[in-house]
Amino acid sequence: MAMKNQKERYGTFIHSNEDLNVGIDLKIDESRPLVIAHPAAGNHYHASMSFVQEFDHPFIHLVIDLHPYFPDTWPGMVSTTGNFMKYQRINDTIDGHPVFRICDSKQPHWQVQVTADAEEYLNSIPLVDILYLDWIDWINIGDDIRKKQVKSLLDYVSKFVRKDGLIILDHKHDLKRILSFKETEDKLLDFYQSLSSHISYSGELEWLGENSASDLTAYSASMYIVGDNGESKEVNVADFQKWMRGLVPEFAQTKQQIDSAIESGRNQFEHVDAYTWDIWNCNYIQKLTDDITHVNLSNLVPAMKTWDLEYYQKFLGWLKINDHLLTKPQNIRSYVKTNQPHIVNIIHGDLIELSPLLFKENNFIAVRKSLAKKVLNRCPWWVDNMVKLQASSPWMESPIPNLVWSGEDVTTKLVEDIMDLSYSKFIEKFDDLDNIPDSLEVITVANGNGELKELLQSFEKFLNKSKFPDEIKLSLTVVHLDDFDYEDNNLPDNWVRS
Ligand SMILES: C[S@@+](CC[C@H](N)C(=O)[O-])C[C@H]1O[C@@H](n2cnc3c(N)ncnc32)[C@H](O)[C@@H]1O
């Protein structure tokens, strides 16, 4: 980071205004990730990515387009840097948008690829720090935005940017010309100076970054700073935390969970559908054994590591220090049977949303196939802890035949079946009975008629014939969305709220 006039300047940008500087001056909130949004980016998100990479700070790179141009839809091309996949898919957001990262980058960052109308999405999230403009059709300012002046355009989009944040107008499509500048350079300066009172022109920028073919490219843009327009332009911390925890599972965990992730040396997981180096390597070995005379490499090679362990752990350390970004433990209602250690928990909420918060090394999730996949997409840590209730293909025999989850035709003994299959999973996972955990939690969602009495009675029936070793304390946790389910009344005999 360069310094000038006692001001911190970020990056290696060449910044020219009345004078020439290296780096740019931006007020960054050090206690949270920086957010840059690139609306209607298409396949050209590399420009904004290279821009924000210049800030040595964790960041969210929001790419918002009506159509998917994900790094693994158009995974790259053979370039001077070879045929390596630069990005890896790491998880989905709770809304199902895929999240990627550049594997050889040490910086904590998440590229969130949102397939949506840009304006609608920007209106639904907290104010961003940087808005990157290289295409303007998405801006609903009027019928023919090309006739509009840059002045009203910037004024309009500044509503998405927090106070002291930036609007970067990329020069790629000669936007200055499109936005009907006919002035000479001198007049241009007058024009910039006559911008709305809450937007100020800060100069011209140039920087080097990679393009879509991973070749080094010179980018250039004009930079504007958003000021105060009388409305509240600060980022609301609570809204920001809520939004972040829906994007990245680590932010949906508690401080205690982050502590144990640090202790156990946890690394970044890839998305369950990611094309990983292990898969590539397996295919390559297969080719070697099948066809020793002519081995051709598959075109794209994923990175061996999605995030270097040392730097992932550093990120966890940063998160721990900034624990206002983390999530508070969930409210839980618990019920026990007298003289029994086992427990039934009731949690109000959405399992997909809560899946990072409920994650513990030894917890299992037992839900229908489609929900299990959504949980895994959002939070891949669960991959080895899913209890299979349905066959993966329709022609295969299902662990619970003709599974009906709720309603009049609900599968009889559903809770017992869930617990029996959890036992099978337990045996598979802990084959050394001398080395088993002292507790095990099975998490599922509302089922049957949604009544507490039915649930506790079913669990009790299971306990009466449970094959789990006696020393294991079992918990059955049911997550429910509807307020009226599992109301705290009508308990069966010998069950109490703990
Ligand atoms: C020609 S591409 C421009 C790509 C890149 N930004 C550039 O400047 O080269 C236009 C992109 O705008 C996207 N687009 C158009 N209207 C949009 C909207 N309302 N919200 C999000 N994306 C939109 C299209 O899907 C398309 O990918």
Angle between helices 309-321 and 255-263 (to 10 degrees): 150
Residue 423 lies in a domain: yes
Q: Which amino acid is at 337?
A: K
Residue 202 CA, chain-centre distance (Å), reads 32
- 259 and 219 assigned to the same domain: no
What is the H or E stretch that residue 319 is in?
helix 309-321
Residue 296 lies in a domain: yes
β-pairing verdict for 495-497 and 473-480: unpaired
Residue 147 lies in a domain: yes
Nearest CA to ligand 1 atom 23: 40
Q: Report the distance separating Cα 306 and Cα 102, nearest Å.
A: 8
How remote is the CA of residue 137 from the centroid of ligand 1, in Å?
7
Q: Report DSSP state, residue 422.
A: H
Q: Report the distance separating Cα 52 and Cα 490, nearest Å.
A: 57
pLDDT of residue 96: 96
- 229 and 255 assigned to the same domain: no
- 51 and 185 assigned to the same domain: yes
pLDDT of residue 421: 97
Can you give the residue range of the structural domain that contains 179?
2-239
Q: Report the distance separating Cα 478 and Cα 486, nearest Å.
A: 9
End-to-end, the C-alpha distance of the chain in Å comes to 55
How remote is the CA of residue 222 from the centroid of ligand 1, in Å?
20
How many domains does one find in the chain? 3
Contact in structure between 102 and 84 (CB atoms under 8 Å)? no
| Span 11-24, pLDDT tens digits | 999 999 888 999 99
- 38 and 143 assigned to the same domain: yes
- 231 and 271 assigned to the same domain: no
**Ligand 1 near 243 CB (within 6 A):** no
- 256 and 320 assigned to the same domain: yes
**Ligand 1 near 65 CB (within 6 A):** yes
**Ligand 1 near 41 CB (within 6 A):** yes
- 288 and 429 assigned to the same domain: no
Nearest CA to ligand 1 atom 27: 42
How remote is the CA of residue 89 from the centroid of ligand 1, in Å?
22
The CATH number assigned to the domain holding 192 equals: 3.40.50
Instruction: Kindly indicate the confidence band of residue 191, based on its pLDDT and cuts at 50, 70 and 90.
Output: low
Contact in structure between 255 and 320 (CB atoms under 8 Å)? yes
Per the DSSP assignment, residues forming a β-bridge with 238 are: none
How remote is the CA of residue 40 from the centroid of ligand 1, in Å?
3
CA distances in angstroms from 197 to 1, 187, 395, listed in the order given: 30, 18, 67
Greatest distance between any 2 Cα atoms in the chain: 87
- 368 and 267 assigned to the same domain: no
Nearest CA to ligand 1 atom 12: 40
Q: Which amino acid is at 139?
A: I
Our mutation pick for probing the ligand 1 site, out of 138, 157, 174, 211, counting the most ligand atoms within 8 A of Cβ, is 138
- 273 and 389 assigned to the same domain: no
Our mutation pick for probing the ligand 1 site, out of 38, 66, 132, counting the most ligand atoms within 8 A of Cβ, is 66
Domain end among 282, 306, 325: 325
Average pLDDT over residues 488-496: 92
Nearest CA to ligand 1 atom 17: 138
Residue 306 lies in a domain: yes
Nearest CA to ligand 1 atom 13: 40
**Ligand 1 near 47 CB (within 6 A):** no
Domain end among 325, 355, 387: 325
Nearest CA to ligand 1 atom 25: 66
pTM of the model: 0.92
- Residue 460 DSSP SS3: helix
Q: Report the distance separating Cα 5 and Cα 291, nearest Å.
A: 65
**Which atom, in ligand 1's list, is nearest to the CA of 173?**
8
Residue 457 has pLDDT above 90, yes or no: yes
- 370 and 282 assigned to the same domain: no
Contact in structure between 37 and 128 (CB atoms under 8 Å)? yes
Per the DSSP assignment, residues forming a β-bridge with 448 are: 406
Q: Which of 6, 47, 1 is nearest to 24 (CA)?
A: 1
Residue 244 lies in a domain: no
Domain end among 308, 325, 342: 325
- 179 and 215 assigned to the same domain: yes
* Most confident listed range (5-9, 195-199, 249-253, 488-492): 249-253
Average pLDDT over residues 407-432: 91
Residue 314 lies in a domain: yes
Q: Give the phi and the psi of residue 297 in degrees, each rounded to 5.
A: -70, 145
Contact in structure between 180 and 188 (CB atoms under 8 Å)? no
What is the H or E stretch that residue 429 is in?
helix 414-429
Q: Which amino acid is at 338?
A: T
Residue 19 lies in a domain: yes
- Residue 421 DSSP SS3: helix
How remote is the CA of residue 64 from the centroid of ligand 1, in Å?
9
Q: Give the phi and the psi of residue 415 in degrees, each rounded to 5.
A: -65, -40
Rg (CA), the chain: 27
Instruction: Kindly indicate the confidence band of residue 107, based on its pLDDT and cuts at 50, 70 and 90.
Output: very high
How remote is the CA of residue 38 from the centroid of ligand 1, in Å?
10
Q: What angle do CA 166, 132, 94 make, to 5 degrees?
A: 105
Residue 373 has pLDDT above 70, yes or no: yes
Kindly report the number of other CB atoms within 10 A of residue 289's CB atom: 9
Residue 57 has pLDDT above 60, yes or no: yes
pLDDT of residue 402: 86
Residue 159 has pLDDT above 90, yes or no: yes
- 293 contacts: CB under 8 Å, gap ≥ 6: none
Residue 180 has pLDDT above 70, yes or no: no
| Span 281-295, pLDDT tens digits | 888 888 778 765 565
**Ligand 1 near 219 CB (within 6 A):** no
Mean pLDDT for the chain overall: 89
- 206 and 58 assigned to the same domain: yes
Contact in structure between 262 and 365 (CB atoms under 8 Å)? no
Contact in structure between 335 and 495 (CB atoms under 8 Å)? yes
